[in-house]
Amino acid sequence: MSHKWGFVILFFSVVCGIGAYIPHRYHFFNENKTWSEAQTYCRENYTDLATINNMREMKKLNHTLMKENAKKAWIGLQREGPGKWQWSLADQTFYRDGDNYTNWRSGEPNSVGDNPYCVEMYKDDGKWNDGNCLNSKFFVCYEEKNTITNKYVVINETKSWHDAQIYCRENHTDLISVRNQTENDEIWKVINSSVGGVWIGLFNDSWKWSDQSNSSFRYWSSNKTSGGLNCSAVSESEKRYWSDVDCTEKLPFICHENKLILVKENLTWREALRYCRNHHHDLVSVRTEEMQLWVKEVAQNASTEHVWLGLRHTCALGFWYWVNGEMICYQDWAPGNGTGFEDCSHEERTGAVQSGGERKWISLPQSKKLNFICSTYEDLFY
Ligand SMILES: *[C@@H]1O[C@H](CO)[C@@H](O)[C@H](O)[C@H]1NC(C)=O
Ligand SMILES: *[C@@H]1O[C@H](CO)[C@@H](O)[C@H](O)[C@H]1NC(C)=O
Ligand SMILES: *[C@@H]1O[C@H](CO)[C@@H](O)[C@H](O)[C@H]1NC(C)=O
Ligand SMILES: *[C@@H]1O[C@H](CO)[C@@H](O)[C@H](O)[C@H]1NC(C)=O
Ligand SMILES: *[C@@H]1O[C@H](CO)[C@@H](O)[C@H](O)[C@H]1NC(C)=O
Ligand SMILES: *[C@@H]1O[C@H](CO)[C@@H](O)[C@H](O)[C@H]1NC(C)=O
Ligand SMILES: *[C@@H]1O[C@H](CO)[C@@H](O)[C@H](O)[C@H]1NC(C)=O
Ligand SMILES: *[C@@H]1O[C@H](CO)[C@@H](O)[C@H](O)[C@H]1NC(C)=O
Ligand SMILES: *[C@@H]1O[C@H](CO)[C@@H](O)[C@H](O)[C@H]1NC(C)=O
Ligand SMILES: *[C@@H]1O[C@H](CO)[C@@H](O)[C@H](O)[C@H]1NC(C)=O
Ligand SMILES: *[C@@H]1O[C@H](CO)[C@@H](O)[C@H](O)[C@H]1NC(C)=O
Ligand SMILES: *[C@@H]1O[C@H](CO)[C@@H](O)[C@H](O)[C@H]1NC(C)=O
- Asked if residues 36 and 43 have their Cβ atoms less than 8 Å apart, the reply is no
Q: Can you tell me which atom of ligand 4 is nearest the CA of 98? A: 13
Q: How much is the pLDDT for 103?
A: 95
Q: Span 301-307, mean pLDDT?
A: 97
Secondary structure (DSSP) of 17-65: STTPPPPEEEEEEEEEE-HHHHHHHHHHHSSEE----SHHHHHHHHHHH
CATH tag, 260-375:
3.10.100.10
Q: How much is the pLDDT for 145?
A: 80
CA 131 from chain centre, in angstroms, equals 28
β-pairing, 137-142 with 174-175?
A: antiparallel
Judged by its nearest atom, the ligand closest to the C-alpha of residue 190 is 8
Tell me: pLDDT of 8 over 50. no
Q: Is 84 in the pocket of ligand 4 (CB under 6 A)?
A: yes
How far is 45 from 53, CA to CA, in rounded Å? 21
Q: Can you tell me which atom of ligand 7 is nearest the CA of 93? A: 5
Q: How much is the pLDDT for 99?
A: 62
Tell me: pLDDT of 297 over 60. yes
Secondary structure (DSSP) of 296-343: HHHHTT-SSSEEEEEEEEETTTTEEEETTSPPP-S--BPTTSSSS---
Contacts of 87 (CB under 8 A, 6+ apart): 94, 95, 177, 201, 202, 216
Q: pTM of the full predicted structure?
A: 0.80
Residues found in the chain: 382
Q: Span 148-175, mean pLDDT?
A: 90
Tell me: pLDDT of 194 over 90. no
How far is 311 from 317, CA to CA, in rounded Å? 15
Tell me: pLDDT of 189 over 50. yes
Q: Can you tell me which atom of ligand 11 is nearest the CA of 305? A: 4
Nearest-CA residue for atom 13 of ligand 4: 98
Q: How much is the pLDDT for 10?
A: 38
Q: How much is the pLDDT for 90?
A: 80
Which ranges in the chain belong to alpha helices (H)?
Answer: 35-45, 55-67, 161-171, 181-191, 269-279, 289-299
What is the distance in A from the centroid of ligand 12 to the CA of 341?
A: 12
Tell me: pLDDT of 6 over 50. no
- pLDDT tens-digit profile of 207-257? 999 999 888 999 998 766 666 789 999 988 777 889 999 999 999 999 999
More confident residue, 318 or 12: 318
Residues with CB under 6 A from ligand 11: 264-266, 303-304
How far is 268 from 350, CA to CA, in rounded Å? 10
Q: How much is the pLDDT for 114?
A: 87
Whole-number mean pLDDT of the chain?
A: 87
CATH T-level assignment (fold) for domain 24-256: Mannose-Binding Protein A; Chain A (3.10.100)
Judged by its nearest atom, the ligand closest to the C-alpha of residue 186 is 8
Least confident piece of the model among 95-104, 117-126, 147-156, 358-367 = 95-104
How far is 130 from 203, CA to CA, in rounded Å? 8
Domain with CATH 3.10.100.10 in the chain: 24-256, 260-375
- Asked if residues 235 and 223 have their Cβ atoms less than 8 Å apart, the reply is no
How far is 139 from 191, CA to CA, in rounded Å? 9
